[in-house]
Amino acid sequence: MKEAKAILHDGARVAIIGGGPAGSFFGIFASKLAQDMGKTLDLTLYERKSFFTHGASGCNMCAGVISESLVQTLALEGINLPSTVVQWSIESYFFHTLEGSVEIKSSRLRQRGIATVFRGSGPAGSLAKGIQSFDEFLLGKAMEHGVCVNRSFIDKVCREGEKTKLYSAGNILQECDLLVGAFGIKGATGKMYEDIITGYKVPPTVKTAQSEIELGNDWIAHRFGHSIHIFLLRIPGIKFVSVIPKGDYITISVLGKDPKLDHIRAFLDHAAMKKFLPSGFKVPEKFCHCFPKISVGAARNPFAARTAFVGDASSTRLYKDGIGSAYITAKAAAHTALLHGIEEKDFREYYFPTCKFLNRDNLFGRLLFAANNLISFISPISRSYFNIVQGEQKNPEKNTPYSDILWDMFTGSRFYKDIFFRALHPWCIIYLLGAVVIYPLKKAVFSFINR
Ligand SMILES: Cc1cc2nc3c(=O)[nH]c(=O)nc-3n(C[C@H](O)[C@H](O)[C@H](O)COP(=O)(O)OP(=O)(O)OC[C@H]3O[C@@H](n4cnc5c(N)ncnc54)[C@H](O)[C@@H]3O)c2cc1C
């Protein structure tokens, strides 16, 4: 006799491990869809952290930029970020290079803009600031959709036939029909799954450095404006630094080769950054900082029978919009589980293509960031690119292809493949190469005439 297909029947038990964005999104979408289908699911989400705690221990450690596309998508889902969650709205990006600074505004930036948030309740020492955690806000939304949140750390998972058992500190917490791994990459939980799920492998990661510096709302508004500042300064060991304004704080996010606290200090001491700090500013002895891992690849086999991995534990966009990727993968996995089934072949056929799409796009992202690094390290090309972008920004309402490339790369508002093919357009390359020759020539002629 043919075996019955494994589906999420009415009353099925779903356990979600991890209450970051991916876990909450999965809970929300699974619950919504089940309701539309006239089913009730028993959804439990396990989260070990309390996002009410200040500092790194209550935070999912990220730069906290919510991309323009995600702000809009969430609004369409009926999830509007309240002002207690949104710390700052972003209207432009400033790029600071050794050649100078240029502000890029995009005519495409629509009304809702880009938002910056804290993942926890704010930096260590920010007790009285009334900051609402983005992750806690999303957990609240999941609870509104009937997801039960259990603040336990899942330290053991056992598979017995069709059921999976979840344990914490030696106690069995539940058996489930579907297990959703939304545990991210920052802890060791993924390794536990490598042992029990054949073929699953956590994504490769690199270390980053993050810190929060308090400068006061007025100073930040005056000096940083409504802009994210990207510094490409050729500091040894640093690829680039992003400075993100958030209320009374700036978040400094360093991407490089094994960044350390000294890199953050070196950056704060750099002349290009000093201009943005109050005169006499001294790097505090102690400030909130962390060294979270960031995903730079994809998980292998992010699914198995009755199991799906979502968010960072699966696939995420390179260096950008990780929270947007959590949304994409969580939604695709929830739809697969409810509309198609929870067998391995269901996830392979209906969920995996979404992951593969993100992974393929990241190949283009890798090439774009490599080209960006190369450009910023080769002075004549960097200067020419800078001059072109500066020229474009004098008339931003006109065609601004070079600014758009930078904007789309750093905001994550377009997929990398699209940006890559725009960057490869023959005119783009010819114009840039032409500029490499023409600008120094122009400069030489001017200085000769003015002699
Ligand atoms: C330096 C840095 C800057 C970044 N900046 C941005 C940015 O500006 N914008 C953006 O969109 N993305 C950014 N990202 C990426 C973003 O942080 C991730 O893509 C996103 O958080 C992934 O969400 P997630 O839910 O999959 O994982 P996470 O956010 O890591 O959540 C996983 C959750 O699972 C919980 N958990 C883990 N194991 C267990 C267990 N065994 N039991 C119970 N709970 C468990 C953890 O406590 C955690 O809350 C950045 C990342 C880094 C490192």
1 has pLDDT over 70? no
With respect to residue 316, please indicate whether it lies within any of the assigned structural domains. yes
- Identify whether 92 is part of a domain: no
Among 318, 336, 363, residue at a domain's last position: 363
Q: Whose CA is nearest to atom 44 of ligand 1?
A: 47
Whole-number pLDDT of residue 95 = 92
Instruction: Tell which atom from ligand 1 comes closest to the C-alpha of 24.
Output: 25
Last residue of a domain, one of 347, 363, 379: 363
- Token duo for residue 434: 């032409």
Out of 48, 74, 413, give the residue to mutate to test ligand 1, the one with the largest number of ligand atoms within 8 Å of its CB.
Answer: 48
Are 445 and 391 in contact, with CB atoms under 8 Å apart?
no
User: Phi, psi at residue 136, to the nearest 5°?
Assistant: -70, -35
Rounded to an integer, the average pLDDT of 155-180 is 93
The pLDDT, as a whole number, for residue 265 is: 93
**Other CB atoms closer than 10 Å to residue 345's CB: what's the count?**
13
Is the separation of the CB atoms in 210 and 222 below 8 Å?
A: no
Closest CA to 232 of 110, 416, 381: 381
Structural domain including 222 reads 209-291
Please tell me whether residues 302 and 256 are part of one structural domain.
no
Beta bridge partners, 75, equal: none
Q: What is the pLDDT of residue 96?
A: 93
Instruction: Confirm whether 82 is domain-assigned.
Output: no
99-115 residue pLDDT tens: 889 999 876 665 558 99
Taking alpha carbons only, the member of 322, 210, 205, 295 closest to residue 259 is: 210
The DSSP code sequence of 233-298 is ---TTEEEEEEEEETTEEEEEEEESS--HHHHHHHHTSHHHHTTS-TT----SS--EE--EEE-S-
Of 107, 65, 73, whose CA–CA distance to 89 is shortest? Answer: 65
Of 44, 49, 60, the one to substitute when testing ligand 1's pocket (max ligand atoms within 8 A of C-beta) is 60
Ligand 1 atom at shortest distance from the alpha carbon of 186? 30
6, 305 contact by CB (below 8 A):
yes
pLDDT in tens, 389-424: 888 888 877 888 888 898 888 888 789 999 999 988
Amino acid at 104: I
Residues 190 and 55 occupy one common structural domain? yes
Q: Model confidence over 326-372: pLDDT tens digits?
A: 999 999 999 999 999 999 999 999 999 999 999 999 999 999 999 88
Q: State whether 21 and 168 are in the same domain.
A: yes
Residue 81 within a domain: no
Same domain, 60 and 132: yes
Residue 81 has pLDDT above 90, yes or no: yes
Looking at the domain assignment, is residue 432 inside a domain?
yes
User: CA 79: distance to chain centroid?
Assistant: 18
Distance CA 342, CA 179 (A): 10
Q: Which pLDDT tens digit goes with each residue over 37-79?
A: 999 999 999 999 999 999 989 999 999 999 988 999 999 999 9
What local confidence, expressed as pLDDT, does residue 376 receive?
Answer: 79
- 270, 291, 312 - which closes a domain: 291
- Please give the helix or strand (H or E) that residue 405 lies within, else none: helix 401-411
Integer Cα distance of 441 and 447 in angstroms: 10
Same domain, 200 and 215: no
Who contacts 365 (Cβ-Cβ below 8 Å, separation ≥6)? 317, 318, 319, 320, 409, 416
Burial class of residue 82 (count of CB atoms within 10 Å of its CB; 0-12, 13-18, 19+): exposed
- Using the mean position of ligand 1's atoms as its centre, give its distance from the Cα of residue 183 in Å: 8
Distance CA 365, CA 360 (A): 9
Same domain, 39 and 144: yes
Q: Is residue 376 part of a domain?
A: yes
Q: Which atom of ligand 1 is nearest to the CA of 314?
A: 26
Substitution candidate for ligand 1 out of 241, 323, 411 with most atoms within 8 A of CB: 323
Mutation probe of ligand 1 site: the residue of 17, 52, 62 with most atoms within 8 A of C-beta: 62
C-alpha of residue 203 to centroid of ligand 1, in Å: 13
Residue 367 structure tokens:
């090439």
Rounded distance from Cα 204 to ligand 1 centre (Å): 14
Sign, Cα dihedral of 106, 110, 254, 321: negative
Q: What is the pLDDT of residue 427?
A: 79
For 173, 391, 406, 439, 440, the CA distances from 436, given in Å and listed in that order, are 64, 14, 18, 6, 7
Average pLDDT along the chain: 91
Helix (H) or strand (E) segment spanning residue 323? helix 322-335
Of 415, 185, 416, which is closest to residue 294 (Cα–Cα)? 185
Are 387 and 349 in the same domain?
A: no
Task: Note whether 443 and 307 are same-domain residues.
Answer: no
Domain assignment of residue 74, yes or no: no
Same domain, 442 and 401: yes
Q: Which atom of ligand 1 is nearest to the CA of 324?
A: 11
Asked whether the whole model's pTM tops 0.85, one would answer yes
Contact call for residues 243 and 209 (beta carbons, < 8 A): no
Q: Are residues 150 and 267 in the same domain?
A: no
Give me the CATH number covering residue 44: 3.50.50.60
What is the tally of structural domains in the chain?
A: 3
Residues 160 and 56 in one domain: yes
Query: For 251-270, what is each residue's pLDDT tens digit?
Result: 999 998 899 999 999 999 99
**If you compute the radius of gyration of the chain from its CA atoms, what whole number of angstroms results?**
23
- What is the full DSSP assignment across 20-54? SHHHHHHHHHHHHHHHHTT---EEEEE----TTS-
Judge whether 209 and 254 are in contact, CB under 8 Å: yes
Considering the domain architecture, whether residues 29 and 150 belong to the same structural domain is answered as: yes
- Say what the pLDDT of residue 380 is: 79
CB atoms within 10 A of CB 172: 11
Dist. CA 29 → ligand 1 center (Å) = 19
- In-domain check, residue 280: yes
Ligand 1-lining residues (CB < 6 angstroms): 17-23, 46-49, 60, 62-65, 153-154, 182-184, 186-187, 189, 208, 210, 253, 292, 294, 311-313, 316, 321-324, 326
Q: How confident is the model at residue 301 (pLDDT cuts 50, 70, 90)?
A: very high
